Structure 1
Amino acid sequence: MSGYGFPTLLQYSRLTSTAADLKSRAEQARTEMVTGRIANLKTELGGTIGDVHLLNKAIGDVTARQDAATRALGRTQASQSALTLAGDGIVTIGADLLSAVGQSHEPSINIAGTKAKLQLDAAVSAFNTRYEGRSLFSGDASNLPALADAETLLTDVRAIFAGAADNAQLQTDLDAYFNDPAGGFETTIYTGGSGNAARTEIADGELVDYSAKADEQAVRDLLRHLATVVVADEQTGFVDRSAALSTAAGGLIQADSDITAIRARIGASEERIAAAQTRLEAEKTAYSITYNEHTARDPYEAATLLQQIESQLEASYIMTSRISLLSLTNYLR
């Protein structure tokens, strides 16, 4: 006669429940083997789970600041490139123009005028540079371009030339256009915001301002002198043409220094951001080490445990199968 007793619903239910539990533990061990991390922190850590959650939040906060710092550094680098493009060769244009005017050499003046036009186009394009969809030189209106097109500016400067009797009046009118809050530059050419772009938090409570705007004095002066050279080259009948060209040439040489000053200011912010990145990386490493000490699972141990559970699960399946096959007929044989 068979050594098996007649199966009861309770026996079968217990074996089924045991198998389900083993299956769940096997899945957990499999996850831990792959990830190297405790799957059920609450069960394993008990009362220290709160500290681990705080560590995980701290790691997330540091990571967010790292991302912000990386984006800020990308914008500063793009701004530096734009400023380099905007001021490229203006010292040479200014120096060559001064020499050409001194010698009354019209072909060289024309060449300087052509170069100034090309550089004006490049400068306007540079100051309209966008990074990650945001205008770099539009201040707090980063959704808008910073400047109107170069031809609009040249049209206005041509009108100023047409109304000036001499170089003194020309410079006065240019001052009003470029520097007066109600002047044409402010109302027509600069199309960005009145405020600065938002600062970036690179550490707890540490904000860095790395922005530059296309309405800064250095930018106004650069565009003013480039446009003056272009229009003065065209206006051969202007009574004080040589004086206007010389003034603009000297202004370009000075504008190079002023643009360089903006670059130096942004460079100082770049250094702060880079230093913050180093600190944040060290901070994240320290938090991560502590977090791993609490939550790490040895993959070898997890694999050994998985093998043991799978053996138990296989035995449980065999027993369940055998019990399910028993019947009254089999029992009575």
Structure 2
Amino acid sequence: MTSISLGDLAQSFMLQRRSVALRQDLSRLTDELSSGKVSDVRQVLDGNHNYLTDLERSLEVLDGYSVANSEAAYYTGAMQKALERVQEFGGALGLDLLLASGGPIGVVAGNPSDNARTQLQGMISSLNGDIAGRSLFAGTATDDVPLPDADVLIAQVLAVVAGQTTPEDIMTAAETWFADPAGFDTLTYSGSATALAPFALSETERVTLDVRANDAALKETLLHTTVAALADDPSLGLSVTQQSELFGLTGIGLQSNQDQLTSLRANIGFTEERIEMISARNQAEETSLEFARNALLATDPFETATELESVQFHLQSLYSVTVRSSQLSLVNFL
């Protein structure tokens, strides 16, 4: 009977080739076990990458919308906090002015005009706020602050009401100037008349934040605060009684304006809720797509571990055979 055997060199090459193949399988299985994903995607998909490509594209799009959702949430949150401060300033000042209108100036609530100037500066600082370098209440003019310093606004209104002799006339002149498009909107407000572009939060959802420093509710707050701040100006020549009456008018105006500010903040709150709902829906969709992708590419950890153990056993056996083969000699055979 004819016997076929391998020479020493051929057998060495065979063992070396088998060792390389087992080590490659060991490396592949180790990576798959640690990552939980198959290493040869082409083999799993049988060359058809369309479904996987569509899943990955959808995940990338959702990732982009996630950034837009975060930006919109930060923006609306900053707006809400700024308007909260403006409303708090106006509410507190309104009560102080009403107290001052019923007693001697400087006894009940300090100097009401000084208090109004301080609160006006706080309001303007809040409305000139920005987030990441983008102005909150300037419309599309995000690189500009919408309002000047408090002293500038007081000087503008003082020039408008100059010559008026009664608190009612002063209020009427100031109200006319704030309502006139050629007044406050042109001379004081330096933001844009155009609202920010809507935030795209999904393929079908958009939210618009159209709140600017020249909004009617905010102008009303600035109007009464500014008039209260200039009530004691010597150029107006108001008596103590007239100043008290003017404080009463502005105090009532600020208190009445609270409902408008609440409504404005409620609109932003509704937008915040929409952003949160859209974000939650996007996250749920992203989780579903990731589950589908993992189901497509994921490996069975138990099967992979079993195969890895088998490869380790075969590799150890091969090393043992190689060692024994290297120890064979004619002397030992004889």
Bigger proportion of residues as helix: 1
AA of the residue aligned to 1:245: F
Deviations 1:49-99, CA, capped at 9 Å, x for gaps: 321221232233233323322332232222111111011142343244234
* Structure-2 residue corresponding to 1:197: 196
Q: Counterpart in 1 of 2:145?
A: 145
Q: In 2, distance between residues paired with 1:120 and 1:90?
A: 9
Matches within 5 A, 1:111-260: 111-167=111-167, 170-175=170-175, 177-183=177-183, 185-235=184-234, 237-238=237-238, 241-260=243-262
Alpha carbons of structure 1 residues 31 and 147: separation in structure 2 relative to 1, 3 Å:
farther
Using the aligned pairs only, state the percent identity: 29
Q: 1:7 to 1:250 in 2, by over 3 A?
A: same
2:43 counterpart residue number? 43
Q: Is the 8 A contact 1:97 1:108 kept in 2?
A: no
Amino acid paired to 2:209: Y
Q: Retained in 2: the 8 A contact 1:82–1:127?
A: yes
After TM superposition, the structure 1 stretch with the greater mean CA deviation from structure 2, 125-134 or 172-181, is 172-181
Match of 2:291 in 1: 289
Residue range with higher mean Cα deviation, 274-283 or 214-223: 274-283
Aligned-residue offset at 1:264: 0.8
Mean alpha-carbon deviation: is it higher for 252-261 or for 312-321? 312-321
Q: Is the 8 A contact 1:116 1:226 kept in 2?
A: yes
CA distance in 2, matches of 1:241, 1:73: 44
**Given the alignment, which residue of 294, 307, 310 partners 1:308?**
310
Judging changes above 3 Å, is the alpha-carbon distance between structure 1 residues 297 and 132 closer, same or farther for their aligned structure 2 residues? farther
Unaligned runs of 5+ in 1: none
**1:17 and 1:125 mapped to 2: Cα distance?**
76
Which one is further off, 302-311 or 127-136? 302-311
For 1:163 and 1:18, how far apart are their aligned partners in 2?
104
Q: Separation in 2 of the partners of 1:77 and 1:251?
A: 27
Q: Tell me the CA shift for residue 123 of structure 1.
A: 1.0
**How far does residue 232 in structure 1 lie from its aligned partner after superposition?**
0.6
Letter in 2 for 1:61: V
Q: What is the letter of the counterpart of residue 248 of structure 1? A: T
Structure 1 pair 307–192 and aligned structure 2 pair: CA distance change class (3 A): farther
Write the distance in 2 (CA, Å) between the matches of 1:174 and 1:325: 108
Cα separation, 1, equivalents of 2:327 and 2:192: 82
| 1:178-224, Cα deviation, whole Å (9 max, x unpaired) | 333332x3345323222112222223221112342112111122112
Distance 2:207 2:262 in 1: 20
Tell me by how many angstroms 1:101 deviates. Answer: 2.3
Counterparts of 2:187 and 2:315 in 1: how far apart (Å)? 79
Judged with a 3 Å threshold, the aligned counterparts in structure 2 of structure 1 residues 14 and 135 are, in CA distance, closer, same or farther, namely farther
Q: Which has the higher contact order (CA 8 A, sep 6+)?
A: 1
* Amino acid across the alignment from 2:254: L
For the residues of structure 2 that align with 1:144 and 1:19, how far apart are their CA atoms?
70
1:317-332 correspondence runs (5 A): none
TM-score (norm 2): 0.81
Question: Aligned partner of 2:226: which letter?
Answer: A
* Per-residue deviation, 1:136: 1.7
Q: What whole-Å deviation, never above 9, does each CA across 1:227-265 have from its counterpart, x for those lacking one?
A: 111111344723754554333222212222221111011
Code of the residue aligned with 1:254 in structure 2: it is: S
After TM superposition, the score normalised by the length of structure 1 is 0.81
Decide whether the 8 Å contact of 1:76 with 1:211 is kept in 2.
Answer: no
Deviation at 1:40, TM superposition (A): 2.2
> C-alpha distance in 2, partners of 1:191/1:313?
77
* Residue in structure 2 matched with residue 276 of structure 1 by the alignment: 278
Q: CA RMSD in A?
A: 3.4
Instruction: Tell me if structure 2 keeps the 8 A contact 1:109–1:233.
Output: no
SS at match of 1:292: helix
Distance (Å, rounded) in 2 between the aligned partners of 1:52 and 1:216: 49
Alignment-mate amino acid for residue 231 of structure 1 = L
